[in-house]
Amino acid sequence: MNNNPEISIIMSVYNGVTHLKKSIDSILNQTFKNFEFIMIDDASIDSSLQIIQSYQAKDNRIILIRNEKNLGLTKSLNKALTIAKGKLVARQDADDLSVETRLEKQYEFLMENPDIILISSSASIIDSKGNEIHPKHYKLSSEQIEKYLRRQNVIVHGSVMFRKNEIMELGGYREHFRYAQDYDLWLRIIDKHKIYILPEYLYKVKISLENLSIGNCILQEEFAKIAKKFYYERKKFRKDSYENYFQDFSLDKIQVESHRAKAKYHFLKAMYLLGENKIFQLRKELLTSIKYYPFNLKTYFYLLISLLGLRGIKILRKVRDVLYMF
């Protein structure tokens, strides 16, 4: 066990057996070595716990915490935060991959820029086979990031590294946010501090059809709306109605008809099909996405290129590769 780690990496795992080994390997193979890896098994019923235990037996940087019952992501992350020894904390999702230089580059940036509290990176979406199918690229100043965050979440949760003390002073993740807990935290950070996104691709977000659900897309969007509501309350009144709002809150209040969330679901499904070369199914999903939300120009772009068939797929990949250069 490392008693003086520079970085604490925190991961919550619930039934993550499909991609867990590759995700753990991507952390253990980092060029930056002085870290502890806190893994919360959130009462998995598959073999996730046994996989983590097998890695822990070989690497004493891994700290395993087993939840007796499923607590959900937000509470599990706060549990990890309370025991983290590092002055910096990095996130990693159990499905995703970190590029081997991620920790090193984020650490160096935070050491050189003490006014930045949280840093993330550009990311690529990959399918279950590891094929890169869609880039999330951001080259923005801290001021631009703040403006974007007022409208939508532009930070990939698993890609972040932040200063622990400042985040704990803000109260960590707010536990009523079962979804969009990250977005709520980012909006609270920019009330007082600066955030930065490294434009380099240091993180890979895995998307798989079995984990993609329209229900989660809707809940994610609706909780994001609540996070934005609180942000504007703080701007106006210097405090928000978090405690009162959730006193009588139940998921039954969530709107089941969310056109933008449904559009997002079908767009993400199309991105997965892009990696599978399933051109006709991809086109169908894009058309469905447009039906629910016809104002996303990116969807039309992909649809136009898809009309070229497999040749269009090759063009899309070339466009993607050009984007990765910036």
pLDDT band at 326 (very low <50, low <70, confident <90, very high): very low
Provide the mean pLDDT of the chain: 89
The pLDDT of residue 254 is 65
Q: Could you report the per-residue pLDDT of 224-239, keeping only the tens digit for each? A: 999 999 999 999 999 9
Mean pLDDT for the stretch of residues 140-145: 88
Closest residue by Cα to residue 125 from 298, 256, 262, 311: 298
| Fold designation for 7-205 | Spore Coat Polysaccharide Biosynthesis Protein SpsA; Chain A (3.90.550)
Where in the chain are all domains bearing CATH 3.90.550.10?
A: 7-205
pLDDT at 324: 46
pLDDT (average), residues 119-127: 89
Q: What pLDDT is recorded for position 321?
A: 56
Residue holding tokens 């809150």? 249
Q: What is the pTM of this model?
A: 0.87
pLDDT band at 325 (very low <50, low <70, confident <90, very high): very low
Q: What is the pLDDT of residues 265-307, one digit of tens each?
A: 888 888 778 767 788 888 999 999 999 999 988 899 888 878 8
* pLDDT tens, position by position, 19-47: 999 999 999 999 999 999 999 999 999 99
